[in-house]
Amino acid sequence: MKYTKDHEWLRVEGELVVVGITEHAATQLGDVVFVELPEVETMVAEGDEVVVIESVKAASDILAPIDGEIVAVNGKLVDNPALVNEDPTGAAWFFKLKIDDLAVLDDFMDEDEYNELIG
């Protein structure tokens, strides 16, 4: 996995990049009560607001970490937003992106660098 400074994780699955939030981010948010996902086939640019999350503490936006096309969303989160707290780095992925070049992931932090950031 790779990590962003905004506490998102990125995992490569074949030619796609799966995006979610880290356990640290889920803990900081508190109990998640609502998730609004983007539409499939949406083109996004790095920094675009893509997902809205509401918790008992606050509302937050998940930004696109890279340019690409959203090719899948995790509909389970709409019916069960608490999944974000229960399994943030597994079952609670938000969306999958098709990108032009997987090499852009080299610019993101690895797990050790991320742990240093939140340490």
The domains of the chain are located at 2-118
Q: What is the pLDDT of residues 30-85, one digit of tens each?
A: 999 999 999 999 999 999 999 999 999 889 999 999 999 999 999 999 999 999 99
Q: Considering the entire predicted model, what is its pTM?
A: 0.93
Mention the CATH class of domain 2-118: mainly beta
CB-based contacts of 23, cutoff 8 Å, min separation 6: 88, 89
CB-based contacts of 40, cutoff 8 Å, min separation 6: 70, 71, 72, 73
